[in-house]
Structure 1
Amino acid sequence: MLGDVDGETAAKLGAELNPEALTVALDELRVRKTPYEVACLRKANARAFAGHLAAREAFDAGAAELDIQLAYLAASRQRESAVPYQNIIGVNRHAGVLHYQHYDLHPVQWHYSLLVDAGHRYRGYCADITRTWAGREASELFEQLIEGVTRLQRRLIDSLAPGHSYLALHERMHRELGELLAGHGIVRCSADAAVAQGITRAFCPHGLGHLLGLQVHDVAGRRLADGSSLPAPADHPALRLTRELEAGMVLTIEPGCYVIPMLLAPLRDAEAGRDIVWETVESLAPHGGIRIEDNVVITPDGHDNLTPKS
């Protein structure tokens, strides 16, 4: 079979492995999900969400990160080898590490925050959900920021419909994040100035989300249906989905707000740094960060959120 030979052998035979036209066509078939695929994704979401609720209960009871992870796996009924990606279980400052991959063995003394980014795979289809909760020692400001990011996420979801630009939604996320930062006295400038100076990108360096399906970051998010490239703009290189929304697409919406010292440090000596209230930022640093993520299918007349309500 041709599939069993390597590229060099195929070239000698005058054959082409994985011809581009074929792979583009196959990827494009995966962009829009069938009702069966949506049903599988909905089931994966339900099982993952049960794990999230158990994780929060474990955190509230004082569990260590490893024990929170085990509570998630038990409630979602899956082995660690079966999850679609390694779960992120971040307590306190660890919630500000975007891809935190460790599980502390010992409980923390102070409970500021818990961020859980964890999913489930059902018949091959992946859920990808993130929730952030305030701990009993969390500051009032941090609790308000969780509420603000959650409301921001819900507004973005409410606007989803075929024909809308995902890039425009991503840019809207940054504008509204700027408003959130200004409204809570974290920056002194306007929302537009916070975006223009790169302040919002320092507080949220990742894209708004991505396509979801058989892969957590599913295929064809940054190209047109004909296979031509549709790259992320230079200002937002991490954006994984640049297409217009179409009925049948399943995607994530995951705005965030983090205190990441490595990203904020360059702003201290820059002009933008004068617009940041550093004392407030430092008071938030022990909390790490916030991300709220749901999985949504685009319908012919709008959208359907596959993630259960918290």
Structure 2
Amino acid sequence: DAGASVNGYASDITRTYAKESGEFADLIERFDELQQELVAQVKAGVEFAELHLKCHRRIAELLAETGIAKGSADALIEAGVTAAFYPHGLGHLLGIQVHDVGGHQVDDTGTKVDPPSGHPYLRLTRKLEVDQVLTIEPGLYVIDMLLENLAGTQAEEMIDKERLDWLRPYGGIRIEDNVRVLADGCENLTRGAFAA
């Protein structure tokens, strides 16, 4: 996780790397593809909260496809499994501050839109507008104190303990890019700098 300031404007990027090829490297690659699918959906007029909810669906699908969790995407989301593995929002505005202000403000008079129910940490709930700059940063983590909150619930039964134990030493994955919203898409400001 790193950032820089250029001409008074902030950036915020994250990459996860694997030391060697293998199953964790493959998971990073799949997570990078997931992140790029989300970036490709950024354009003016998109409701960012809806993109955040799509991210939870894709993470649920990935958890099931990799055997880390069992169940449909809907069931994993409803039970709180994705919230335990991905407790933050999909991204935030960038500007003079790294977590720039106004992520919930939808007009010039200060009208606010709260995050969707169950997603209190989503910092951006606005409809995307041309020339906004924001992060797209899905994450997948093993945070024991969050997973412990699932004890005795349906969610706990949906998580494969052996697969969780396999993932735990790695801590997790986050891939974060900075994107500029365009009328018909976006410009990824950071991806080229980290192409390997």
TM-score range, shorter chain: over 0.9
Structure with more of its chain in helix, by fraction: 1
Match of 1:189 among 60, 71, 88: 71
- The answer to which structure, 1 or 2, has the higher relative contact order (CA under 8 A, 6+ apart) is 2
- Paired residues, number: 192
TM-score (norm 2): 0.94
Distance in structure 1 (CA, Å) of the matches to 2:153 and 2:183: 46
Q: Does 2:5 correspond to 1:121? A: yes
Partner residue of 1:242? 125
Code of the aligned partner of 1:197: A
Match of 2:156 among 273, 280, 285: 273
User: Is the CA contact (8 Å cut-off) linking 1:128 and 1:216 kept in structure 2?
Assistant: yes
Match of 2:171 among 248, 271, 288: 288
* Cα shift at 1:211: 0.3
Between Structure 1 and Structure 2, whose CA radius of gyration is higher? 1
| 3-state SS, counterpart of residue 133 of structure 1 | coil
* Cα shift at 1:126: 0.8
* Cα shift at 1:238: 0.2
Sequence identity of aligned pairs in percent? 50
Q: Does 2:105 correspond to 1:219? A: no
Partner residue of 1:37? none
Q: Does 2:63 correspond to 1:175? A: no
Distance in structure 2 (CA, Å) of the matches to 1:241 and 1:194: 23
* Cα shift at 1:283: 1.4
Match of 2:19 among 118, 123, 135: 135
Match of 1:264 among 147, 171, 180: 147
| 3-state SS, counterpart of residue 51 of structure 2 | helix
User: Is the CA contact (8 Å cut-off) linking 1:222 and 1:241 kept in structure 2?
Assistant: yes
| 3-state SS, counterpart of residue 132 of structure 1 | coil
Partner residue of 1:84? none
TM-score (norm 1): 0.60
Deviant stretches of 4+, over 6 Å: none
Partner residue of 2:92? 210
Distance in structure 1 (CA, Å) of the matches to 2:170 and 2:184: 39
Distance in structure 1 (CA, Å) of the matches to 2:138 and 2:84: 13
Q: Deviations for 1:143-196, whole angstroms, at most 9, x for unmatched residues?
A: 222112101110011111111110000000000000000000011111111111
* Cα shift at 1:127: 1.1
| 3-state SS, counterpart of residue 135 of structure 2 | strand
Code of the aligned partner of 1:208: L
Q: Deviations for 1:47-95, whole angstroms, at most 9, x for unmatched residues?
A: xxxxxxxxxxxxxxxxxxxxxxxxxxxxxxxxxxxxxxxxxxxxxxxxx
* Cα shift at 1:219: 1.2
**Alignment gaps of 5+ in structure 2:** none
Distance in structure 2 (CA, Å) of the matches to 1:206 and 1:154: 18
Partner residue of 1:302? 185
Code of the aligned partner of 1:216: V
* Cα shift at 1:119: 0.6
User: Is the CA contact (8 Å cut-off) linking 1:161 and 1:299 kept in structure 2?
Assistant: yes
Q: Deviations for 1:194-235, whole angstroms, at most 9, x for unmatched residues?
A: 111110010010000000011001111111113111111231
Q: Does 2:27 correspond to 1:145? A: yes
User: Is the CA contact (8 Å cut-off) linking 1:134 and 1:143 kept in structure 2?
Assistant: yes
Distance in structure 2 (CA, Å) of the matches to 1:301 and 1:186: 36
Q: Does 2:43 correspond to 1:161? A: yes
1:1-40 correspondence to structure 2 within 5 Å? none
Distance in structure 2 (CA, Å) of the matches to 1:172 and 1:308: 21
